[in-house]
């Protein structure tokens, strides 16, 4: 789970990393009062779980409390890369001399962590890495030894960060370990005109496996920013929204993934991933079909089931019962194979729904679904 900037800021502060004074609100009037408390001027910052807020107009300087109120009104409700701004943080402005980038991230391939640091902070690190890779230092961190002062010195030196940042690098590692994070990132870490080092922006991704130890952050209310994914999650479906036009239902993650590939190979694009697992009940089928059909981009639906423990006749029964509750508005192509396939196919033949057709093979079914979607 990603944390909001203001939550990351709170954690940094607890671990002795210097951050600007700041408060959070969802009200423009309150924003005005906060700016007054901060001394008049304030940076108004959209609280959304995505980067590049500054560029999107979600980070603005306000010269006085009245301007802070106006700016907060402007930013609240804004849409930044699909995230609606529900809260703003007002932070005390800092006189920036230099902007740096520092982060620790889990490196799964290496079985360790990676410190990434650069003296060119402020902009997104991916851009710096793409245009000036030599400006980004990448130092492996042994998870057991962690980041000692010596290690932090090595990172700072490699990236060209000032010596004062060594202490922050050590503390940031403590944040990662104690908060069960997979990623901690400060961009920018700044040096002020007076030579102080402050974290002006923070991103922390917690390890969901440790959620029971990090209950203070509650559930992730932004985990499903797509409304269809939220509806599917509420029904307990394993659904991921994609951009295409062929709705997909299959059993088993591997089969569903290859179904997506085969559909793409037929020149169409899958509209979703939906794994019904071992469940083929009428409820799962109708819930799945309902979610898929409520996607206006879907032009055809492909059900691809290989009966193992789940028998194909149970799947066919599920489809027939789902057709009672869900109004099928687009063609449905069904491929049943494996356990009790013949009985399953007979059940669908008997139902003889005008929009349901069957195919014998996965390739044939995908080709047909793609054809129906592209000619629709």
The count of residues interacting with Mg ion (CB under 5 A) is 2
| 99: contact with ligand ADP by CB under 6 A | yes
Of 43-51, 69-77, 215-223, 234-242, the segment contacting ligand ADP by CB under 6 A is 43-51
Is position 101 annotated as part of the catalytic site? yes
Rounded distance between C-alpha atoms, residue 39 and residue 19, angstroms: 16
Starting from the edge strand earliest in sequence, which strands make up the sheet with 59-62, in order?
A: 22-25, 88-91, 42-46, 59-62
The CA-based angle 132-134-139, given to 5 degrees, is: 130
C-alpha 185/C-alpha 204 separation (Å) is 6
Could you say which of 28, 65, 188, 344 contacts ligand ADP (CB under 6 A)?
A: 188
The single-letter DSSP state of residue 271 is -
Count of residues that bind ligand ADP according to CB under 6 A: 18
Report the C-alpha gap between 297 and 165 in whole angstroms. 50
Q: If binding is defined by CB under 6 A, does position 118 make contact with ligand ADP? A: no
The gap from C-alpha 322 to its chain's centroid, in whole angstroms, comes to: 31
Task: Pick the stretch among 7-15, 46-54, 132-140, 360-368 that binds ligand ADP (CB under 6 A).
Answer: 46-54
Q: Which is nearer to ligand ADP, 52 or 308 (CB)?
A: 52
Contacts with Mg ion, 256-295, as mask; x by CB under 5 A = ----------------------------------------
Please give the torsion angle defined by the CA atoms of residues 48, 13, 115 and 83, in that order, rounded to the nearest 10 degrees. 0
Which is catalytic among the residues 23, 120, 185, 245?
185
Length of the chain: 376
Q: How far apart are CA 250 and CA 280, in angstroms?
A: 10
Per CB under 6 A, 43 contacts ligand ADP: yes
If the CB atoms of residues 62 and 341 are measured against ligand ADP, the closer one turns out to be: 62
146, interface contact from Mg ion, ligand ADP, none, CB < 5-8 Å by kind: none
Burial of 189 (0-12, 13-18, 19+ CB in 10 A): buried
Of 194-253, binders to ligand ADP (CB under 6 A) are: 200-201
Neighbours of 307 (CB within 10 A): 21
Between 153 and 182, how does the x/- string for binding to ligand ADP read (CB under 6 A)?
A: ------------------------------
217 three-state secondary structure: helix
Q: How many CB atoms within 10 Å of residue 261?
A: 11
Percentages (nearest 5) of helix, strand, coil residues in the chain? 40, 25, 35
Residue closer to Mg ion by CB (options 92, 187) is 187
Residue 185 appears among annotated catalytic residues: yes
| SS3 assignment, position 72 | helix
Pick from 1, 18, 30, 54 the residue near ligand ADP by CB under 6 A.
Answer: 54
Catalytic residue selected from 4, 101, 104, 239: 101
Which of helix, strand or coil describes residue 225? coil
Nearer to ligand ADP, 52 or 278 (CB): 52
- Cβ atoms of 303 and 333 within 8 Å: the answer is yes
The answer to whether 201 contacts Mg ion (rule: CB under 5 A) is yes
The single residue among 7, 71, 187, 300 that binds Mg ion, judged by CB under 5 A, is 187
Closest to ligand ADP by CB, 91 vs 291, is 91
Question: Which residues belong to the active site?
Answer: 101, 185
Applying CB under 5 A, the residues found at the interface with Mg ion are: 187, 201
Residues that bind ligand ADP (CB under 6 A): 20, 43, 45, 51-54, 59, 91, 93-94, 96, 99, 122, 187-188, 200-201
């Amino acid at each position: 789970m990603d944390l909001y900037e203001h939550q990351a800021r709170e954690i940094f502060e607890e671990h002795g990393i210097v951050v600007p004074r700041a408060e959070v609100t969802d009200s423009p009037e309150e924003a005005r009062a906060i700016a007054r408390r901060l001394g008049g001027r304030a940076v108004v910052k959209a609280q959304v779980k995505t980067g590049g807020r500054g560029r999107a107009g979600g980070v603005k300087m306000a010269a006085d409390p009245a301007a802070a109120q106006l700016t907060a009104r402007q930013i609240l409700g804004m849409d930044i890369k699909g995230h609606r701004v529900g809260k703003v943080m007002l932070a005390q402005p800092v006189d920036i001399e230099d902007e740096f980038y520092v982060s620790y991230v889990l490196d799964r391939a290496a079985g360790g962590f990676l410190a990434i640091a650069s003296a060119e902070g402020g902009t997104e690190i991916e851009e710096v890495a793409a245009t000036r890779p030599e400006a980004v230092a990448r130092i492996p961190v042994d998870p057991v030894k962690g980041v000692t002062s010596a290690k932090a010195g090595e990172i700072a030196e490699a990236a060209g960060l000032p010596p004062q940042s060594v202490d922050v690098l050590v503390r940031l590692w403590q944040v990662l370990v104690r908060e069960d994070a997979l990623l901690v990132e400060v961009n920018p870490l700044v040096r002020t005109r007076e030579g102080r080092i402050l974290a002006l922006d923070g991103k922390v991704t917690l390890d969901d496996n440790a959620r029971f130890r990090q209950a203070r952050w509650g559930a992730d209310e932004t985990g499903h920013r797509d409304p269809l994914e939220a509806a599917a999650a509420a029904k307990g479906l394993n659904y991921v929204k994609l951009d295409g036009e062929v709705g997909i239902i299959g059993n088993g993650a591997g089969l569903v993934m290859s179904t997506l590939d085969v559909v793409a190979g037929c020149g169409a694009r899958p509209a979703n991933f939906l794994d019904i697992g071992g469940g083929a009940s009428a409820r799962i089928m109708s819930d799945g079909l309902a979610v898929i059909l409520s996607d206006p981009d879907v032009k055809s639906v492909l059900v691809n089931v290989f009966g193992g423990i789940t028998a194909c006749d149970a799947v066919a029964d599920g489809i027939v019962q789902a057709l009672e509750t869900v109004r099928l508005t687009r063609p449905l192509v069904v491929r049943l194979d494996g356990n009790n396939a013949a009985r399953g196919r007979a059940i669908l033949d008997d139902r003889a729904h005008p929009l349901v057709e069957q195919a014998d093979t996965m390739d044939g079914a995908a080709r047909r679904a793609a054809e129906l979607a592209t000619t629709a």
